[in-house]
Each structure stands twice: as structure tokens, then as C-alpha cells.
Amino acid sequence: MKKGEILEGRIEKVDFPNRGIIRMDNRQVIVKNGIPGQKVRFSVSKVRKGKCEGRILEVTEPSPLEVAPDCIHFASCGGCTYRNMSYEEQLRLKEAQIKELLDSVCRDYHFEGIKASPLQEGYRNKMEFSFGDEEKDGPLALGMHKRGSFYDIVTVNDCRIVHPDFRKILACVLEFARGTGLPFYHKLSHQGYFRHLLVRRAVKTEEILIDLVTSTQASPDLTPMREALLKLPLEGRIAGILHTSNDSLADVIQNDHTDLLYGQDYFYEELLGLKFKISPFSFFQTNSLGAEVLYETARTYIGETKDKVIFDLYSGTGTIAQILAPVAKHVTGVEIVEEAVEAARENAALNGLDNCSFLAGDVLKVIDELTEKPDLIVLDPPRDGIHPKALGKIIRFGVERMVYISCKPTSLVRDLEVLQASRYQVERVCCVDMFPGTGHVETVALLTKKAQ
């Protein structure tokens, strides 16, 4: 087997998140974006001892699990992975993937399977669309990255994972951008104007926040865009229209400066009877109804909180802290993003909760400043999991119970190994599908301290 060779094989299984496994010539070949049972032609892209990687060129024989994708962009867009499988099969696949990962490190735990997202279409409350072109020097595009491409953009004007309001806003902004004649920001030359379009829409309140992100290399009049957006026949209500300047060389949405073009720079969403104020860049779960399932599951795992001191580490905008606060003695949240901490404090006041406090800073450092001894700890870290030194400090608190919420199960199982080595037993685990159509899933684990 050589790099560049064209071969054909059948995908036996798919490991998390989308690593298809083909076995041939006593070797394992990993190909992405396939589904179990497909026979595919692939090009060998990497060759290592015992393992190879390949890129799928075409499906020569469909899988018995395969269905016609329900999105016209699926073949080209890199946003979704499994829209060519029924939702029931997507859940079975994700459940099996997570169970296999957990079984590799955990013993004698209760696996409670996977809970479905209440919505399978139009579930996302936030999208970051990118400007670019679908082919070199082609017309201006606005949407998602083309599957397998760092540069090419697909205009996803019929995306199925967002509410129709998103699609109308995307089309309106793209028409305005094309009308200016200004180019998009090129990642290599660092020249150009249009960079991203950030849209957030609450499911419960139906409030919408729109943020056009550009470089400072031009200064067109944005009034026509604002007026066109305000005239759109939307189901929701535009709470604010913003313009953010970003001259960062990295391909990320960075806020160097934001001007308010209309309304306000925040909107409100509701979860489990609580109200949350959300700013453009603060973290909030992207599936509001799925988040209710996730946090209700976590609350069940946490159990009795009356008169208890709780640490909510990696607390974001304080959602979990505020869900637990009504019957707790005190909840302390720690979050590195200062904007999210400010939002958490405002949200606690908005919900009449005076037994929550939120600290801004890295958990690794802030944890040394916490003087209270917690009765239980909730962990909801970013995708890479918990810094090893921070995890050591968390373990030293010696709490009887921890609940770990993870958006990346490979990071979770790595941290569970460390926790189990420190006499914590994994008791229960449940998955919540927050991202239908994609390879991602949330996982909730309950750990209890073993007796000496």
C-alpha cells in the first residue's frame, strides 16, 4: 500500500467521531465521512506502520443503513456528517461509539444509552458563516467550509440544521456584500474585507442577534444592509444588528471592536424556567431544547443539593450554576472568558439568585484561591478536557460526588482514567444528542468517591 494509490474497500465500522475503518492487506485504513457498510474508492493519503489513512473518492456501493440525504448541500458542505442515515441509526451509531470508548477505561458502571434531541432540524441557535468563494476567483459565497477544504466555501442557503430565519438573513447579507463589490478576506494574503456572519436566534423568545464581521480594510456604508435586514419577513424578532471589526490573522471570529447598528448587543433565551442574557461571543449551548435535556440529566445525576456548596468549573454563562442554585447553599462558578462571567452575574441577578458567585480566570489558577470546601463539583470543560494539573487540584478537594459533562468523549475517557486512578468510581453515564446530523455528542458521567 503506497501513498497516492487508489483502492477499494468496505467500511466495517465508524469510530468516534467519523473515522471509518477499512481492513485490507492485514492493515487498517482510516477514512473520514463514510458510514458503516459502504463500499468506497479511496486514495491513500498517509502510510504508517500497520495503519493507513485515505480520502474517499466515491461510494461504489451504498450501505444498507444509507438513505437519501435530506439536504441539497450535504455532498459538498462540511457541516454535517450523517444526513445520509436515518436519525434512529445516527443515535445507534453514536451510542455504540461512546459505549466502546467508555468500556476501554471503565468497569462496573451503568450505561444509560443516548437521549435524542427534541428537534432534529432547525435546532441550532447559533451559526458562524464564513465569506469566501466556492472555487478560485468565483463569485462571493457565504456559508460553511466545503467538505475537506480549508479555503472553499459553500453558500448553504437551504441548510437544514437552522431555522428558516437564518437562511433569509444569510441570503440578505450575501446580496448586500456582493453589491458592494468588495472582496472577502483571503487567509493567505490577509487582504480583503468580508470575513464572517454570526447569527444567534433564541428558540423560546425568538429574539435574533446579527453580527457582520469584517476587517478594517474598507468602510462601506452598512445602512442599506441594516434596512434590508429589518424589512425581512422573519418569524423571529431582530433584537440587534452589529458590526465587528477583526484584523486577526487567524481564521477566527475575534472582537477587536463592535459597533451597534440597530437595537441592542444581546438577546434573551430561556432554559428550564430561567432566563439568560446572551451576548454575541459568550458561550451558550447551541441547541436550546437539547440543552434542557442535557441539564435535566445532569441535575438528576447531581441529586440532592440542599444546603450544599457546589463548584461549577468551566461555568460559561452560569447555566448549570443557576439551575442548581435554588436549592443549594452556594454555587461558585469559574470561567476563563470574562464576557461570559459578566453575563453569568447578570443572569443570576435577572433570575433573582443571590447565592451564586462567578470568578473569571483559568480553573488551573483560580482553584487555588477558592477558600470554601465544596460538597460536590460539576465539570463542563472545553473540548480538550481538563488540564492535568487542574484535574489533580480538583481531585484533592476529595468531594464525594462529581458530575462531568463532556462535548468530546475522547477527552472524557482520558480524564476518567485519571479520576479512577484516584479512587473515583464511574457510576452512571448517559449521552445526549445535541448535534443531529453531525458526529458530535454530549456525555454526562457521575463519579463517586470510593471508601478508603
CB 195 within 8 A of CB 132: no
CB 121 within 8 A of CB 161: yes
Task: Please give the C-alpha separations between residue 79 and each of 61, 93, 156, 437, in angstroms, as whole numbers.
Answer: 24, 18, 10, 9
Task: Please give the C-alpha separations between residue 319 and each of 95, 195, 274, 323, 333, in angstroms, as whole numbers.
Answer: 26, 30, 9, 6, 10
* Residue at grid coordinates 468551566: 314
Judge whether 407 counts as a catalytic residue: yes
CB 336 within 8 A of CB 362: yes
Residue 36 φ then ψ, to 5° = -55, 135
Instruction: Evaluate the CA torsion angle 389, 394, 398, 404 in order and state its sign.
Output: negative
- Distance CA(15)–CA(17), nearest Å, equals 6
Assess whether the previous peptide bond of 17 is cis (omega < 30° from 0): yes
Amino acid (1-letter code) at residue 211: D
- Distance CA(157)–CA(166), nearest Å, equals 9
Pick the catalytic residue: 106, 172, 407, 431? 407
Radius of gyration of the chain (CA): 23
- Residues marked as catalytic: 407
